[in-house]
Chain A
Amino acid sequence: MKKAEDRRQNQECGTEPRFQTSDFRLQTFRTLLPFALFALALVALQLGLRAAGREYCLTQLTMSLYYAIVVIGLCLVMGYAGQVSLGHGAFFAIGGYTAAVLTTHDFTRYGTSGWAAGMKAAHVLTARDDLYGNPILTASPGAAFCAAMLVTLAIAGLIGYPALRLKGHYLAMATLGFGLIINKIVVGTALFGAADGINGVPEWRLAPGLTVSGRSALRVENYYLAGGLVLALLVLLRNLILSRVGRALQAIHDREAAAGAMGINTAAYKLRAFVLSALLAAMAGVFFTHYTGGIGPSEASAFKSVRYVALAASGGMASLWGVTGMSTLLNYLSLRGLFGSYDNAVFGALLILIVSIAPEGPLKPLGQWLRKPFARSAVERRLEHGAA
């Protein structure tokens, strides 16, 4: 009796979902709709740019999509687990540099040993020509990718385990300090090309007809590759967030002590979220490095890490769509050089403005504002109905 009354009240106030939960097909449709729209937007953008004869813009768009992967991963740590990380630029660099070193470093002098022959047979090492046509023996991009993931896994676990026991300011500083150490090591080591970075990273043949490469002939293909990767990750993360793990992370975000009291192993969940997002950043770094054919120390700078945080904040932190959209857009504008020498200032100012005015991100309040007229008319309708 009581329940039925509640339900009627809810319906009157409009809090009850308008669709019955049994309407399974409609629900599936509503779930899939944003993903379909995203895919459509990717296609529309490419066709639009082709029609406008500005297909060269796809290059920066592809790079922005790779950067967006880092921000999406950061979104998991910041928006869902509620932990700040100012070291994600370092993970991007760890991934990119590992891949770059392994695919450009010449292993020829080990070429005669037995294990090198074995590695060659297993396609871990491949012989190819370098930029000047000299034959060299390097790791294959696939093997380098696996190595990059393993290295990132180890470092993220090693740094995350103690760091995530820290809170708020302490965690921010610890991750920032970690990022700076990686940056200094990269700049100060000859193996990593010091201040020049590493060039001549080969293209990565993922499958026949699917190559990560910056060649202009493969521009469209690479754009869809990056877009597809982002889409796949969004699907994965959406499922993760709606799972038991995601709910645990959100509980940690809302009130860590309460989450712990409910029996959630907060330290373990935080660490997993951190490591997963570090792996995403490193993966983006590997793809990015193969795409642009090189990587420089600026990718490991504190500014880059701060920029990822800014982008996550500007998208609303806990909104995968907002974060993806905003970070792709802003990075694209920045890569096109729209902000000129004020690039960093724009990101800094954006950070302050968005976080102080709309800590939930600008998209949510904007959406509410847009929906306002409709909401009011619904109330009015109901009033009329009540009067009649």
Chain B
Amino acid sequence: MENTSLALQYLLSGVTKGSIYAVVAIGFNLIYSATGVLNFAQGEFVMLGGMVAITLAHYAPLPVAVAGAVVIVALLGGLLEVAFFRKLRRHSVLHLIIITIGLSIVLQEAALHLWDEKVRSLPYFTGNEVSSVKILGAAISPQVLWVLGTVAVMVISLQVFLKYTLPGRAMRACSSNPDAAMLAGINIPNMRTLSFALSAALGALAGCVISPITMTHYEMGAPLAIKGFAAAILGGLGNPMGAVAGGLLVGVLEAFAVSKLPAAYNDVAAFAVLLLVLFVRPHGLFGRPGGESVREH
């Protein structure tokens, strides 16, 4: 009994972290399918979402602060696309990677100078640090339920958006065949901007709900981006539902690694899995190997 509840505790903490990785992975996928760019600055959106919401929470009630943060970060995401990627169609993948890395550093440094190096957090959405809900013998914070609920709603509404709404379908058309989409009258540059804004908004919301649990810190973005990428790769790039599975898998793995490995090696397990998957199955656990493109990237 003791053991199962302990395992359940690890599992839940893994699922909580994993759901955030899943959101980051979905953000990667959204931008990747629409633009072909893998946005290394994805983790910074999560960090900025938390930071902006914390500042806004001083002046407005929590729901308004969170909504405000999501809107601001979404605008910033769209702006970055317009400012940097819209003009750079002729740049190679290598150059685009370098630009997103540069963006990630600049955003991080901007956060350091706008705020500071202190660790801060939003208040718990309901209850406080010590309140807990008992589920199957494992005590969990209500915030965990908030995280899981929010992520579930995000994933489902994103699916609905992509499958059943006109802009969502336009976005998918844009990723599967940009030329044909353009001939069908879809404004591709705007779709790309929308994908950046949407993925920034998802990241920001995730950054808000996770803030009471993991705290928000200007350096939190880069590790999140890397684990989110590991999740996206695990699920197969361009596959949003695969990204969710991949995210949960990375989170759970990490939670159990903590119980087995010394704390300092915490992240090593996640990165080792990333490397292993990249080397053994670069097309992901659920994807299938694609044909090699000879086209100039």
Contacts and interface: CB of A to CB of B under 8 A. Distances in A.
Contacts of B262: 188
Nearest to B107: A348
18 contacts: A78-B94, A165-B279, A172-B38, A172-B97, A177-B275, A177-B278, A180-B267, A184-B268, A189-B264, A194-B264, A255-B296, A257-B292, A257-B294, A310-B98, A345-B105, A348-B105, A349-B106, A359-B91
Interface string A200-219: 00000000000000000000
A340 to B, nearest CB: 11
Interface of A: 78, 82, 84, 86, 159, 162-163, 165-170, 172-174, 176-178, 180-181, 184-185, 187-189, 194, 255, 257, 302-303, 306, 309-310, 313, 341-342, 344-345, 347-352, 355-356, 359
A351 B98 contact: yes
Contacts of B271: 177-178, 180-181, 184
Interface of B: 38, 40, 84, 87-88, 91-95, 97-99, 101-106, 108-110, 113, 222-223, 226, 229-230, 233, 262, 264-268, 271-272, 274-275, 278-279, 282, 292, 294, 296-297
Nearest to A83: B94
B275 A352 contact: no
B105 A344 contact: yes
Contacts of B267: 180, 184
Instruction: Please provide the 10 A-B residue pairs with the shortest distance between their CB atoms, ordered closest to farther.
Output: A188-B264, A348-B105, A351-B102, A345-B109, A162-B279, A352-B102, A168-B93, A169-B38, A348-B106, A177-B271
Given A344-B105, A345-B106, A348-B106, A181 B94 contact: no
Interface centre among A178, A180, A257 (most CB of B within 10 A): A180
A218 B157 CA distance: 67
Nearest to A181: B271
Contact of B275 (A174, A342, A345, A355): A174
Contacts of B99: 351-352, 355-356
A207 to B, nearest CB: 40
A345 B110 contact: yes
Contacts, number: 133
A133 to B, nearest CB: 33
A188 B268 CA distance: 10
B226 to A, nearest CB: 6
Contacts of B229: 173
| Chain B interface, >50% SS class | helix
Contacts of B103: 348, 352
Contacts of A184: 264-268, 271
Contact of A355 (B98, B108, B233, B266): B98
B268 A352 contact: no
Given A163-B278, A184-B264, A349-B106, 20 more contacts: A82-B94, A84-B97, A162-B278, A166-B282, A167-B93, A168-B38, A168-B94, A173-B233, A173-B278, A174-B275, A178-B271, A184-B267, A306-B101, A313-B98, A345-B109, A348-B106, A348-B108, A352-B84, A352-B99, A355-B91
A174 B109 contact: no
Nearest to B109: A345
Contact of A188 (B108, B265, B279, B294): B265
Contacts of A345: 105-106, 109-110, 113
B135 to A, nearest CB: 33
A345 B105 CA distance: 6
B200 to A, nearest CB: 17
A180 B102 contact: no
Contacts of A349: 102, 106
A61 to B, nearest CB: 25
Contacts of A168: 38, 93-94, 97, 297
A167 B188 CA distance: 25
A176 B294 CA distance: 26
A355 B103 CA distance: 12
Contacts of B105: 303, 306, 344-345, 347-348, 351
B102 A176 contact: no
Contacts of B87: 356
Contact of A176 (B108, B226, B233, B282): B226
A348 B297 CA distance: 24
Given A188-B264, A356-B88, A344 B109 contact: yes
B278 A166 contact: yes
B240 to A, nearest CB: 17
Given A349-B102, A356-B99, A177 B226 contact: yes
Among A255, A347, A355, residue most surrounded by chain B Cβ atoms (within 10 Å): A355
A181 B94 CA distance: 23
* Interface-centre pick from A173, A184, A351, A352 (highest chain B CB count, 10 A): A173
A178 B97 CA distance: 17
Given A170-B278, A177-B274, A188-B264, A348 B109 contact: yes
A170 B294 CA distance: 17
Given A170-B278, A345-B110, A309 B265 contact: no
Nearest to B273: A177
A162 B282 CA distance: 11
Nearest to A159: B275
A141 B98 CA distance: 37
Contact of B101 (A170, A180, A351): A351
Nearest to B229: A173
Nearest to B101: A306
Contacts of B223: 180
A173 to B, nearest CB: 5
Contacts of B93: 167-169
A309 B229 CA distance: 20
Contact of A187 (B40, B92, B98, B264): B264
